[in-house]
Amino acid sequence: MMDFIQTLGRNTRSSFTKLGRATFFLVQTVIGIADILPRPRLLLNQLYSVGVLSFLIISISGLFVGMVLGLQGFYILSDFGAEETLGVMVAASLVRELGPVVSALLFAGRAGSALTAEIGLMKATEQLSGMEMMAVDPIKRIISPRFLAGFISMPLLAALFSAIGIIGGQIVGSGLLGVDDGAYWSQMQAKLDFQDDIINGVIKSLVFGFVTSWIALFEGYDAIPTSEGVSRATTRTVVTAAFSILGLDFVLTALMFGDD
Amino acid sequence: MGDSARCHNSLVTVRGLSFSRGDNKIFTDVSMDFESGKITAIMGPSGTGKTTLLKLIGGQLQPSQGIVTVDGSNVHRLRRNELFVLRKRMGMLFQSGALLTDMSVYDNVAFPLREHTHLPESMIRTLVLLKLQAVGLRGARNLMPNELSGGMARRVALARAIALDPMMIMYDEPFTGQDPISKGVLLHLIKSLNATLGLTTIIVSHDVHETAAIADYIYVVSGGKVIGEGSPSEIKHSASEWVQQFMDGSADGPVHFHYPAKDLQDDLMSSGKRY
């Protein structure tokens, strides 16, 4: 029993210290963003490796998710004779939920794990220490550009995911199953609200981008500098990011759509 | 050895330094002087915190007690930006080289110049090529770090460490894992950079013969304390049994071959339960 309480105490304390370190790290990272402005090249390189390189996985997943939505939606809606509203259903699910959430989960798996591994290995091979000894702040030079790139890329990737998903839904719905093409688009236009649906979706993905990049970079920076340490940190990134994304999605959805 | 004579010419001084990691005391009350323009070696077995000492001098770690001064300023009292100004004048060569793996050899050497100066690219090119020439790797400028051998990586890191013409340079285990030729090359480079650029040099190493061949002064460290110091010949003829064992590399002596354990016979006859 004493052991249990001791372990509980130790774990709680270490979780809080870690949270403290992570917050301190975040503050330094955000302050470091000011130093990127005169050197856009640093950001562009990261936008490429974090954002552009995630294009393929996001587009293909978006296409399939949209196609599945089209299929499932059609079967249910046609029971009620409401297959004309397929466009609304596909677009609303994508823009409100699946776009931000699924693309953030994919982003955590594709870009987040890569960031953690990269930073962790830089730490393990003394590159970060080396930079510090060359009087270059690794947070400003390495972390901040990656953080900003993640934050900017996420909403763009989510938008891409939703857009391709909507096309996927249309390919299946009107291409294969015979829903009227005009109805698919015009119902969508009529029912989807810019503020309620699109802006809220963008806010969600901005939050997810912020949290995922923070987790990924911090786990790498805080990793134990051994191969096992880096591998654990990478796993933790994906797991923690997934939980945070899904948990935050619930909170944000409740806040955004709760009042209607 | 007149300690006071060494003092007023020293670029780096360490006074009463203590440092611990958790409950583990790494250093207790260590004092050292690193004379300007000379090669000073810190020797000792693996795991005695020699690298930690370099990190303490470079201000990457905070001591629990004691003072480290570099060129007159107390390293651990400096504000972060003052520390960075000081570090531009301190070179450090890490054991692994610590090259940035996403940049070519050329860009690695250019890195500190691009970060800290506003020199035009043509001048950076001249400087980088001269530094690479000094370490004999001008022809390797387009290679990536993963295409270099361990010895070459260290030479590139050396070129990078001297890119900003520092006043001192710290070498962390420069000879570990090097073949005899690379060792010879590094020895020659360390010696000639010290002589031609007047660099104050600190070498942390457990390679006795290589280090003793070029050092002007040696500190032998073990168990968190300085247990011997002097010129290489003084160290070689030290009365301390421990220093003798270290210099000769004998398997048993004051440092025992066996990790502390209970009696072998008792151990073999016991039940085999883990304890």
Residue B158: inside a domain? no
Global model pTM greater than 0.80: yes
Residues 208-227 on A with a CB inside 8 Å of B are: none
Instruction: Find chain B residues with C-beta within 8 A of A122's C-beta.
Output: 101
Residue B72: inside a domain? yes
Write down the pLDDT at residue B1: 44
* A135 three-class SS: coil
Residue B111: inside a domain? no
Write down the pLDDT at residue B7: 53
pLDDT tens per residue across span A218-253: 999 999 989 999 999 999 999 999 999 999 999 999
Q: Which residues of A158-182 are buried (b: 16+ CB within 10 A; e: fewer)?
A: bbbbbbbbbbbbbebbbeebebeee
Compute the distance between CA of residue A187 and CA of residue A166 in angstroms, rounded to an integer.
13
pLDDT tens per residue across span A35-73: 888 888 889 999 999 999 999 999 999 999 999 999 999
Structure tokens at B232: 């290489």
What A177-184 contacts at long range (C-beta under 8 Å, 24+ apart), as own/partner pairs, is A177/A70, A177/A71, A177/A74, A177/A83, A179/A74, A179/A83, A179/A84, A179/A86, A179/A87, A180/A84, A183/A84, A183/A85, A183/A87, A184/A84, A184/A86, A184/A87
DSSP H helical segments within chain B, as ranges? Answer: 3-7, 50-57, 80-87, 105-116, 121-134, 150-161, 180-197, 208-214, 232-236, 241-248, 264-269
A132 touches chain B (CB under 8 A): yes
Compute the distance between CA of residue A127 and CA of residue B96 in angstroms, rounded to an integer.
9
CB contact under 8 A, B100 and A134: no
CB contact under 8 A, A134 and B94: no
Of B84, B98, B116, the CB nearest to A129: B98
Report yes or no: B179 and B155 within 8 Å, Cβ to Cβ.
Answer: no
Of A125, A135, A136, the CB nearest to B98: A125
Write down the pLDDT at residue A224: 92
Report yes or no: B11 and B36 within 8 Å, Cβ to Cβ.
Answer: yes
ipTM exceeds 0.90:
no
Instruction: Find chain A residues with C-beta within 8 A of B87's C-beta.
Output: 132-135
Predicted confidence (pLDDT) at residue A175 exceeds the cutoff of 70: yes
Residue B19: inside a domain? yes
Please give the residue range of the domain that contains residue B57: 3-89+166-269
Report yes or no: A152 and A205 within 8 Å, Cβ to Cβ.
Answer: no
Query: What is the least distance, in Å, from the CA of B86 to any CA of chain A?
Result: 8
A136 touches chain B (CB under 8 A): yes
Q: Which of A126, A134, A146 to mutate to test the interface with B (most CBs of B within 10 A)?
A: A134
Write down the pLDDT at residue B233: 85
Domain residue ranges in chain A: 47-257
Write down the pLDDT at residue A107: 94
Write down the pLDDT at residue B95: 83
Residue B121: inside a domain? no
Name the more confident of B212 and A158: A158
Q: For the domain that residue B70 is a member of, what is the CATH number?
A: 3.40.50.300
Residue B21: inside a domain? yes
H or E segment and range at residue A151: helix A144-170
pLDDT tens over chain B, length 275 residues = 444 445 568 888 988 888 888 788 888 888 889 888 899 999 887 777 888 888 899 888 888 888 899 988 888 888 888 888 899 888 888 888 889 988 899 999 999 999 888 899 999 999 999 989 888 888 888 999 899 888 888 889 989 988 888 899 999 888 887 888 888 888 888 898 888 888 899 999 888 888 888 899 999 888 888 888 888 888 888 777 777 887 777 777 777 777 778 888 888 888 766 55
Query: What is the least distance, in Å, from the CA of A158 to any CA of chain B?
Result: 29
How many domains in chain B? 1
Give the gyration radius of chain B's Cα atoms.
21
Instruction: Find chain B residues with C-beta within 8 A of A130's C-beta.
Output: 92, 94, 98-100, 157
Residue B68: inside a domain? yes
Query: What is the least distance, in Å, from the CA of B92 to any CA of chain A?
Result: 7
Residue B203: inside a domain? yes
CB contact under 8 A, A125 and B95: no
Tell me the backbone φ, ψ of residue B73, rounded to 5 degrees.
-110, 140
CB contact under 8 A, B92 and A133: yes
Average pLDDT in the A5-24 region? 92
DSSP letters of B43-103?
E--TTSSHHHHHHHHTTSS--SEEEEEETTEEGGGS-HHHHHHHHTTEEEE-TT----TTS
Write down the pLDDT at residue B202: 92
